[in-house]
Structures are given as structure tokens and as C-alpha cells.
Chain A
């Protein structure tokens, strides 16, 4: 119940294309869903996050779509660029005064070809 399942494991997209990464969860107590971007040798960087009271959030070329009934959320990267090549992690966190931990998906290695 604590898992966040992420797919695909790896993704190759042409420059200018749309990259789509999907995540699914079981625990209905999760109420915060961030996406992180990690370059080799660096720590994860917070990209964008969503709460379950909205179905979509957009920041620049990055969009999160959230389907509460299906317990799924996805990251869309529009006009993908070679500089977007990195590993992307989805995560989820439950609302609780006892814990503030992030539970991460297994990551998606994105390669954007020029």
C-alpha cells in the first residue's frame, strides 16, 4: 500500500516531442504528489507538485495530470529538449502529523534525441 509504481523505466523521445511518465498509487492517504528531476551526480530537484483537489497543474513545459478516482498521475514534458535528459522520479506523501516522508517511484530515465 505504500508503493508508488512508475513507468516506463526508460524513455527515448525526439527533440520537440512530448515525454509522458506515469505513476500509480494505492494508499488513499497520499495527498501530495511531487515530481523530481535528477541529473547524474546531482541530488533530485523539485520540478512540480500537485494536490488531489486539482486535476491538472502546469508550469512552463511541465504538466502534471492527476486522476484521483484511478489513483494515477502523470508528468507531461512538452517540446522536449536534449537538456531534459535526466532521471525523473514521481513521489507521494501522506497527510499526517506523524510522518512527512516522500515515497518515491523507481524512476524513469529520459533521453531526448536531437
Chain B
């Protein structure tokens, strides 16, 4: 069974630009989560999508947004990039709410560097 996949692996952007990160969940998983892993700050919850809807977001500004497509893949958009947005962005997926809803499986991440 294929795991969570993310693209691109690395992304270099300039301050003020926009970044788009993509995630494909494990087949059969309907929930997708985004986390930011910044140096010194640990793993911070960003967003949760389930069945195409944003269900919950963490303590991040509105310039962090995303969406989930009908095939359950997801996209994270970061607008007006700032230097402190440089981090590893991790996507995770889990089975639907009626199953083992807590088990989140992570992808390898996208390393975003803002210069």
C-alpha cells in the first residue's frame, strides 16, 4: 500500500511570493492534515480537511489556506511568504471518522525555504 505522498520535495521562494504544496493521502483515507515543523518550534497543527471541507485550523494567519479535492488529495497555499515560513510542511492522512479516526500517517514533507 502506497503511503502519503507530497510534492515538491523542496521549494525555494522569495519573500512575498506564494507557495503551493500538494499532498495525496493513503488510498481510502478521507481526512488530510497539514502540520508545520519549524526549527525550534516542533510540529504545529495547521489545517484539517475531511470530505472536502475545512474542519479545523490551528493558530496560523489567514494567508495559510488550502483545499481538498474530490479525490481527497489536498493543496496547501501560503501567500505573502515571510522568512519565518521556512519549515518542513508535513501532510498526514487518516481513515474516515467512522473508523480509526485518530491514526494519522505522515508523508515525507515539503521543505520550504523562503529567502
Contact = CB atoms under 8 A, between A and B. Distances in A.
Contacts of A89: 42-43
Interface residues of B, number: 26
B8 interface: no
Contacts of B103: 34, 46, 49
Nearest to A107: B42
A103 interface: yes
Q: By CB atoms of chain A within 10 A, which of B4, B50, B103 has the most?
A: B103
Contact of B48 (A41, A42, A44, A100): A100
Q: By CB atoms of chain A within 10 A, which of B42, B56, B105 has the most?
A: B42
Contacts of A88: none
Interface stretch (B12-20, B64-72, B79-87, B106-114): B106-114
B42 A43 contact: no
Interface string B83-96: 00000001010100
Contact of B42 (A34, A46, A98, A105): A105
B4 A43 contact: yes
Contacts of A71: none
B90 A43 contact: yes
27 contacts: A34-B102, A34-B104, A41-B108, A43-B108, A44-B43, A44-B90, A46-B104, A49-B103, A89-B43, A93-B102, A99-B48, A99-B55, A99-B56, A100-B33, A100-B48, A100-B50, A100-B55, A100-B94, A100-B101, A100-B102, A101-B45, A101-B48, A102-B43, A102-B104, A104-B43, A104-B44, A107-B42
4 closest A-B pairs by beta carbon, nearest first, are A43-B106, A101-B45, A104-B43, A32-B102
